Structure formats: structure tokens, C-alpha cells
Amino acid sequence: MNEWVVHKFGGSCLRTPSDIERIHQRIVSIPGRPIIVVSALWGVTDRLLRSVNEPLQWSRLVNDLRKQHARFAPSVEFGEASEQFKQVIEILSENMLHLCQDPLDQDARHEVLACGERLACIVVSEALRLKGLEIIPVQSDELGIMISKSSSSIDLESTLERIDKQLIEGPIPVISGWFGLGESGKTRVLNRGGSDLSAAALATILEAESVILWKDVPGVLSVSPRWGIDSATISYLGYGEALALARAGGVVLHAGCIEPLRGTGIPLQIRPLNDDGPYTVIGPEINIDESRVSAISCTPGIVHYDIEAKTNEITILLNDLMRLIEDEAVKVWALSAVEGNISLLVPSTRSLEVDSILEGAEVAVEKSDVASLVSLIGSGLKHEMTGAIATVEEKHAIHHLLDEDDLNRVISELANHHHLMA
């Protein structure tokens, strides 16, 4: 490892120009040699996603985004970064025009979507430069970040071969997250939440001391706030537990940002930008023999498949299902397999894709009605739930599929039983 510390600031940390003051404080107060990764400014990615489907209002979009970024760092239109800023605005305009002529132009869509991060990279650099930091904006494609074919991950091997470390050896780099180069050499964006993945991948490639994801929440809570339960911040999660929670619908965590760090020992911190209170550290597993529930997750709209097949069919099906999972077409899932049987939990919105894989295979399938998935995350787990439609056990999670109207009651009782209340 070396002295690099990767700081990632998402859109929730880039709402107004006043956020720059807090970002500056964080950068100068955390020991280590900083590398900064940024998402688009607050609300920009959502607007760009709408615009690629409705490109005819492109001139208003471009003008609005130019003004929004100029308000964030006024000198960006006439200072050192003005030429770069103007170039990205031109890229945005040109590709929006392409989409007006050909709405299915995928290259143009990716170029447009990447402009949010490109612009944020420039204006955050400019704002921090005015705070007295020696800063340089670095676009991900210039750095050599390579995106996988499925757009679900960063190709670590290809990136390691192509990365231009000279771009980060001098002034503090501000790097645009979420996009890079695809196999064709053209701009490709990751799936949503991909800027966290960009930060984790950079930390892995550079063998950084740590990576910090700055958020607007106090780390990872034992129970999502959406359920109205006052739960505690989890102080420490092993990589396996964190990955299980992310795959079970943990909205603060992106499974793809944990995967590259497993086995590296590099700690991942999830910290609130505007608060010096509790935060979460994710790192190597500890006390793995201890029976402990760290978190509870609940996701409505899940379907269970119970699949019986011969051994040779099971192997083929597992390969197909794993490809579906790796492509992250399935965002919430649990999969277990024993001889002759596969037990699978998937979102109902993705069940047609699973049905297509199973179609024509020599298998016996039982498919449940749509229900809610309640997941207990931890280590050494042992838990039974009366009335569960299906239960799938993994190393760091037990998933119960429930047809239950009062989910708040169920989750509250579980949180209280496992001492997860604040």
C-alpha cells in the first residue's frame, strides 16, 4: 500500500457552492495523499437520463446546465478551466443534436450521460483551486479507466495496463467517476451508482491506504430509514457482510464497489460530509465464528424459483443465471444450489428474463407469487421464520420470502430481538 487516500463525493455532497467549503475541510484534515472522485452535481444525472429519451429540448438543457455549473464555480467560464468547460458544453450540444436525428445512437447517449461527471470534475477542481489547493481535473477516459462489456464494472486488468499514473503524480487530481472507455475505445458509462465503483476500483489499482465515500447519511444503518425505525449506525462490516447487504437492497451500498476491494485489505469508509458523528468501516472479516445479526433489509416485489433438474442441466442453468447476475440485470437476488436443485430469489420485474433462461430446459420449476424479501445480514446466522414462502441461506445472509402486509411490524420485532435499535 501507499499513502493515497481516495475520496469520493457524490451528488448529495454537491448540491450548492457552500458544499465546497466542507469538501475542502475534509480533504485537508484527513491524513494521506488525496485523490478525489466526483459524481455529477445534484440532480444532473437524472436530468440527463430524461434528456436522452426526450432530446428535442436539448438547447434549454444545455443552457440550464451551463448556468448551474457556472453558479457552482463562477470563474469556470473565464478562468483557467474555461476552455475545458466550453469543450464539454460543446460535446453535450453535439451529441444531443445527434440524438435528435437518431434517438437510438448509443454512442451519443453515453457521451451525453458522461457530461454530468465531466462538468463536475471541472467545476469542483476550479472551486477547490480557488480555496488554495494545487488541483488538476482528470477525466476518466484520459486516465485510462476501462469499462466492462456489460457496463456493470470496471475492467481492472485492462485499466491497470492503460492507466496513466503521471496524471495523478503531481497536483491533487479530481477524477470524473461513472464512465470510462469501452472495448470499442468510445465513452461508456457504468450502471447507476457507478461512481462509488470508480473510487473503489482506483483504490484497488493504486493500492491505496483507504477509500472514503462521503455521503449525506451517517454511514450504514442497521435498518433502512424508510421503515421509520430508529436504528444504529453499523461501526464495522466485513466485506462479505457488506456485499450481502448490498445485494439484498442496501441502498447506501453498491455491490460493485465492494467486489474489487475483497482480498486487498483496503478499508472502505462511508462517512457523512456534514457530520463528525458515527460512520461505517468495511474491511476484512473478523470474528467470523460469532453468531451476529448486523443489519436487516426488506425489499418488496420478489419472486422465488425452486428448480429441479439433472446435474448436467444444473451446470448449464447456473452458468446462464450467473451471467444474468454478473450483468446486474438482477439488482436484488439470492441464489443457492445443491445437487439437483437451484433456489433463486429475483425481483418480479426481472422474472421474465429468468423465465426465458428456463424455457426449453428439462427442469421442474415452482414459481412463487410476488412477495417481500426480509434479509438478515451477519455471520454465523441461525434464524427460522414461521410462514415463510421460501428461505435461502448464504454465508452472510438468511433471506425469508414473506407474504406479509404489516412489514413494519415484522422488521421492528426483528430489530428489537437482535438489538439493532439506536
What is the residue extent of each domain of the chain? 4-216, 292-417
The SS3 of residue 314 is helix
Establish whether domains 4-216 and 292-417 are of one fold: no
- The C-alpha angle 136, 138, 141, rounded to 5 degrees, equals 170
pLDDT score for 202? 95
Report yes or no: 345 and 401 within 8 Å, Cβ to Cβ: yes
* Helix (H) or strand (E) segment spanning residue 397: strand 397-402
- Cell numbers at residue 418, please? 437482535
Report yes or no: 38 and 135 within 8 Å, Cβ to Cβ: no
**Tell me: domain 4-216, CATH 3.40.1160.10, correct?**
yes
pLDDT score for 156? 93
The CATH superfamily assigned to 292-417 is VC0802-like (3.30.2130.10)
pLDDT score for 103? 93
Side chain identity, residue 143: L
Cα four-point dihedral sign 393, 394, 399, 401? negative
* Helix (H) or strand (E) segment spanning residue 92: helix 82-101
Cell numbers 458544453: residue: 89
Q: What are the strands, taking DSSP E only, across 206-362?
A: 210-215, 236-238, 268-272, 280-283, 292-309, 334-338, 341-347
Q: What are the angstrom distances between the C-alpha of 203 and each of 162, 213, 257, 268?
A: 16, 12, 10, 9
pLDDT score for 19? 95
- Cell numbers at residue 221, please? 444503518
Burial 96-115 (b: 16+ CB within 10 A, else e): bebbeeeeebeebbbbbbbb
pLDDT score for 116? 97
In tens digits, what is the pLDDT along the chain, a chain of 422 residues?
A: 569 999 999 999 999 999 999 999 999 999 999 999 999 999 999 999 999 999 988 999 999 999 999 999 999 998 888 999 999 999 999 999 999 999 999 999 999 999 999 999 999 999 999 999 999 999 999 999 999 887 778 999 999 999 999 999 999 999 999 999 998 899 999 987 778 999 999 999 999 999 999 998 889 999 988 888 888 899 999 999 998 888 887 667 777 788 889 889 999 999 999 988 899 999 998 866 678 899 999 888 999 999 998 877 778 888 888 777 766 555 667 788 888 888 888 889 888 888 888 887 788 889 999 999 999 999 888 878 888 998 888 889 999 999 988 888 999 999 998 888 87
Q: What tens digit of pLDDT does each residue of 82-125 get? A: 999 999 999 999 999 999 999 999 999 999 999 999 999 999 99
Residue spans of alpha helices (H) in 130-226 = 140-143, 156-162, 194-206
- DSSP letter for each residue of 110-124: HHHHHHHHHHHHHHH
Q: What are the angstrom distances between the C-alpha of 248 and each of 15, 217, 251, 335, 349?
A: 29, 19, 9, 11, 15
